[in-house]
Structure 1
Amino acid sequence: MDVMVLQTQRWLNRTYGSVPTFGSVEETGSTGWDTIYGLIRALQHEEGITDLVDNFGETTMALCPTLKLGSTGRVVTILQGGLWCKGYGTGAADLTANFAGGTEDAVKQLQADAGLPQTGIVTPMLMKAILSMDAFTNTWSGGSDRICEMQRALNASISSYAGIIFPCDGLYSRSLNEAIIYAIQKDIGMDAGTANGAFGPTTTSMWKSAYPNGVSAGSSATAMVKIIQYALYCNGASYDTGTFDGVYDSTVTTRVSQFQSFSGLPATGTVDISTMLSMLVSYGDQDRAVTGLDCANTLTDSYLAALDSYGYKICGRYIVGGDWKRLKVDEFARILAKGMSVFPIYQTNGMEESYFSYNQGWEDGKEAVMNARAFGFPNNTVIYFAVDFDAMDYQVTNSVIPYFQGIYERLQKMSCYPYRIGIYGPRNVCSRVSDAGYAELSFVSDMSSGFSGNLGYPLPVNWAFDQIDTVSYPVQAPDFVEIDKDVVSGRDSGASVAFPIPDTDYAGGESLIKVNIGNDEIPVYANMDTNYPFVKNQIGSIKKGQFYIARASKDGASWAPSYRKVIYKKGDGALATGLIIVSNTIMGGSFIQTGVVDFHSVIFNGSDLEVLNPDEDHISGLPGYIAHTVHKPVAAMNSSGTFIKTIPAGAKIAADVSETGYSHPEYLICNYVNYGEGNGWEPITSSDSYFFVDVDLYSATSGADRAIW
């Protein structure tokens, strides 16, 4: 508790407590907005304003008197209370109504701390700065003396021009960013009445006119070079030029090149308008050419042709949401066929703090993985989870970080599907979640330039995509495609291949997992034919040691060869469907394909295959069941397709048939699990008598690659 602040609070309540619309302030002895607002309302009352508000606005400024040595009255007392709240003593043990030497000394010290001439005179602009929560010393955790140096120099240069005294607290924030832009506007000759601290179209145009060739080594534009040095430092201490001296030397050239390279700009060492904007505006130069995009539109062939003509190479698409928004399997194939890659975005809501919690992250982590798996995104793909609101720092701490912790821990539990975590959101949110260890890469929503988490924060060090603008491209009149432009850092190349479970008619029909243990490859055909030789268009083959999924019932007419519809893995790693010939003679429902056995009748030992005797009991106490060893973590699902748990490597699973789930033919039906350590065989849970295990068909090219042997 600060005794001087407590005196100020008591004086305010005692003096103005009966004034209509003044209200009261809490008497805590701690400075806060409640006390500052009380001082502002007190000043307004002394100015003759009757409708008191918590804002030092234009009217309050216009009516505020200038105070100096010898001034008296309650406005002086308000000034002294403001100085006390900022930690400046006035040389007296109590508030007075007299502007004496102690008060003048306090004002001069504050002016020195703010980089202003030490006149001891309190102008209305200085009074506004005093009656605020702005600090003028580096008292904050994480504050930088170099930033303080910068802030004081800017106040000395542009406070009269801007009509603002900026804080000198050692922190890069929205106000410092604004001060630097005011300095630019002053340098390029913008009228003070037009200047606003925002790098808009007028500032951009005037800067380009003032510096048509940019600013480079040897430049005599000392003021602008100093601004460039400020902007570099604010984007990270690694861009520190050593001093703010306005000299564009080799160090400045190197730092500019490093910043350009980090930001996805040509590393020329010359500051052009794109570099200037990238240093000070979250979205940078919105006219710059980019190769990335994200959108909520289904990308048709005509849309993709248009986007391809504009140079787009990578696309962000949603893997959840309504049909209007969500990626489609055939769309995914179209995008890849066009030579573009895809990065997945997960967003069901994410537009307000109430959505975010650990439990929500736990659920979203599972849903994201299962949806990514269904679309066929390869292992190690980064999924970007959206934080699509202007999250304050405390909201990041209380809600957003726990949400990502839930995602992280859920994906750790589902390590059988090794997807990686990314975050979509404002700069500060991305950096904080990443620093907490819960996101590897950031997709930055820099297009939302007004978000508090973007202004005054550098681009996250792990940025992969930087969203800078929404644009529309004509397709065929009156049609157009609307997308968001994304700068690409190269940290994430997206998915350039996909391994979706093929769309087949397996749902509702029994399927079996089969293994080719013969020496010959099994041809796979596209079509049955009613004419001899009853096959048409070979499209692939099932090699020795590979396993595949086949319908248990045969296809084909009674007079034609017996076929089976299969899912198999092609040479390029993708899953595909086709037909194999089982027999040229109708033999009922059983397979007589030479060299083929059921999955549960074979043990994989490295690359070797050992066929078991189906008449023997292979697990003691479980007649008819065969044990398979888990060599990579696998996902166990219940009959509803809901993830139960990850079965770790080293465990064993037991199956009595090689039958798969009807609607998910890539899952083997199992009955028991044995985690080792003498625990014995047990159901997966107390309520599930059987479960389904992903047989890892995607990575199955040889026995050693399989998740289950």
Structure 2
Amino acid sequence: MHMGVSNAFPGGGVEPKVFKALLTMDPYVLVGDGTGDVRGIQQWMNERYVRRREFFIIPCGGQYSREVARALMLAIQYEIGMSDDQANGVFGPGTQQGLREHPLSVGSEGNWVLLFSAAMIFKQRSGVFFSSVFGSGLEAAVEAFQRFTRLSVNGRADFPTWASLLVSTGDPTRKGTACDCVTEITPDRARALRDEGYLYVGRYLTNVPGTTLDRNIKPGELETIADAGLSVYPIYQTYGGAASYFSEEQGVADALAAIDAYNHSVRAGIITGTPMDPASDADLWATWQQLNQDNVYCVSTVPHVHFHHAELIGAPRPSLDISEQGVLDLPTRYQGELDHPDAQEGGRRRLGLCRILEQYNAFMRNL
């Protein structure tokens, strides 16, 4: 009953899929921040699709998860008419074409409306009920979602709306207004981007150590971008990414550095707050989670690290009138000890970045 499969599997026997579900740690009662609406959808999907070969009993704890997202994709593929050999839970060409062939609007009824309202509920859209009838309330919620995702507002479950609900990329054919640029924005490139409808360009503040790709923003490039009527958003990335980086030791080191910097800024009165305990596993874990998941927190921690390092090496606090040697010492200490050759090389490389940032700030101050 809790799994929602009592009608699909009547009788007292234990079906293989039920037994498999019992061997997992998946919940089948409401847990944590789970909701009754989500749980009802989970039970409904189990009931309707559990006899399909690739559909296994999903959790019914009322929480949306990756497993539930895949189950929804499988359900859509089954309703499209895919066989068990075709349905794979992937948002591929066949699934996309099937969604294009099943638009919904006010007055639509049936399983497609149930699946669409389920997708809206999974995305925590307010005012949506799990229903087989597409009514005016669902239409209003769809319009709000379309405004939020910058889609054409029509209140219908068209393909772009389905795509934005199902995958993070949304409609892969949708034309955007922002782009991430790894090469210099020249005047010709800026004009070409603007002519194609782009309004925002992302440019990197530094190159990734150990790589040969020269992608950092160049002197004068901000003026070129502004002259073309474009806006820029800076991108800070110092590591290209590999699974080997994410070790327990690296996580502890990153968290300790962030905690030390934060505590120094609190003690110095730069920010308000309560100092954290670097010996506390809870504080270390919470800080590492923020560093790993919150880009704003991660970037905003860097100046506190510099403030802390300035105190450690007896340098003045970073300011607009700091000497160039003082500017050099801070990124050097950021890389390691001042007398370490690798740290010195890292500091010299980042001195150019500091100059670029000052040009950026001066430009923003209209100096």
TM-score by length of 1: 0.37
> Structure 2: which amino acid aligns with 1:231?
A
Give the number of the structure whose alpha-carbon radius of gyration is greater: 1
Q: How does 1:583-662 map to 2 (within 5 A)?
A: 635=320, 637-642=322-327
Q: 1:189 aligns to what?
A: 81
Q: 1:234 aligns to what?
A: 122
Q: Tell me the percent identity.
A: 28
SS at match of 1:637: coil
Q: 1:319 aligns to what?
A: 205
In the alignment, is the contact (CA less than 8 A) between 1:298 and 1:328 conserved in 2? yes
Displacement of 1:294: 0.3
SS at match of 2:233: strand
> Structure 2: which amino acid aligns with 1:337?
D
Please list every run of 5 or more consecutive structure 1 residues that lacks an aligned counterpart in the other structure: 1-111, 366-394, 416-632, 646-662, 668-695, 702-709
Residue 196 of structure 2 is aligned to residue 310 of structure 1: yes
SS at match of 1:329: coil
**Alpha carbons of structure 1 residues 414 and 217: separation in structure 2 relative to 1, 3 Å:** farther
Structure richer in helix, relative to its length? 2
Displacement of 1:363: 11
Q: How does 1:292-441 map to 2 (within 5 A)?
A: 292-321=178-207, 324-349=214-239, 351=241, 352-354=245-247, 357-358=254-255, 397=286, 399-402=288-291, 407-408=299-300, 411=303
Displacement of 1:309: 3.0
Task: Tell me the alpha carbon deviations over residues 554-583 of structure 1, each in whole angstroms, 9 at most, x when there is no partner.
Answer: xxxxxxxxxxxxxxxxxxxxxxxxxxxxxx
> Structure 1: which amino acid aligns with 2:175?
A
Distance in 2, Cα, partners of 1:127 & 1:278:
35
Residue 174 of structure 2 is aligned to residue 174 of structure 1: no
Displacement of 1:266: 1.4
Residue 38 of structure 2 is aligned to residue 147 of structure 1: yes
Distance in 2, Cα, partners of 1:397 & 1:350:
24
**Alpha carbons of structure 1 residues 301 and 362: separation in structure 2 relative to 1, 3 Å:** farther
**Alpha carbons of structure 1 residues 321 and 360: separation in structure 2 relative to 1, 3 Å:** farther
> Structure 2: which amino acid aligns with 1:264?
R
| Alignment partner of 2:144 out of 258, 264, 267 | 258
Displacement of 1:193: 2.2
Q: How does 1:519-534 map to 2 (within 5 A)?
A: none
> Structure 1: which amino acid aligns with 2:5?
L
Q: How does 1:206-225 map to 2 (within 5 A)?
A: 206-209=98-101, 211=102, 214-220=103-109, 222-225=110-113
Distance in 1, Cα, partners of 2:291 & 2:221:
34
In the alignment, is the contact (CA less than 8 A) between 1:159 and 1:166 conserved in 2? no
> Structure 2: which amino acid aligns with 1:341?
S
SS at match of 2:220: helix
In the alignment, is the contact (CA less than 8 A) between 2:123 and 2:165 conserved in 1? yes
Displacement of 1:286: 1.0
**Alpha carbons of structure 1 residues 640 and 315: separation in structure 2 relative to 1, 3 Å:** same
Q: How does 1:96-115 map to 2 (within 5 A)?
A: 112-115=1-4
Distance in 2, Cα, partners of 1:250 & 1:636:
61
**Alpha carbons of structure 1 residues 700 and 307: separation in structure 2 relative to 1, 3 Å:** closer
TM-score by length of 2: 0.69
What do you get for the CA RMSD once the two structures are aligned?
Answer: 3.5
Task: Tell me the alpha carbon deviations over residues 205-229 of structure 1, each in whole angstroms, 9 at most, x when there is no partner.
Answer: 12213x2xx2111113x11111111
Distance in 2, Cα, partners of 1:406 & 1:283:
24
Q: How does 1:17-28 map to 2 (within 5 A)?
A: none
Please list every run of 5 or more consecutive structure 2 residues that lacks an aligned counterpart in the other structure: 263-283, 308-317, 331-350, 356-361
> Structure 2: which amino acid aligns with 1:640?
Q
Q: 2:159 aligns to what?
A: 273
Distance in 2, Cα, partners of 1:185 & 1:144:
25
SS at match of 1:316: strand
Displacement of 1:199: 1.9
Number of residue pairs aligned between Structure 1 and Structure 2? 291
In the alignment, is the contact (CA less than 8 A) between 1:239 and 1:258 conserved in 2? no
Distance in 2, Cα, partners of 1:313 & 1:697:
19
| Alignment partner of 1:247 out of 133, 137, 154 | 133
Task: Tell me the alpha carbon deviations over residues 457-509 of structure 1, each in whole angstroms, 9 at most, x when there is no partner.
Answer: xxxxxxxxxxxxxxxxxxxxxxxxxxxxxxxxxxxxxxxxxxxxxxxxxxxxx
Structure richer in strand, relative to its length? 1
Residue 84 of structure 2 is aligned to residue 198 of structure 1: no
Task: Tell me the alpha carbon deviations over residues 228-255 of structure 1, each in whole angstroms, 9 at most, x when there is no partner.
Answer: 111111111x4341x3121111100011
| Alignment partner of 1:132 out of 24, 31, 55 | 24
In the alignment, is the contact (CA less than 8 A) between 1:125 and 1:164 conserved in 2? yes
**Alpha carbons of structure 1 residues 179 and 396: separation in structure 2 relative to 1, 3 Å:** farther
**Alpha carbons of structure 1 residues 160 and 697: separation in structure 2 relative to 1, 3 Å:** closer
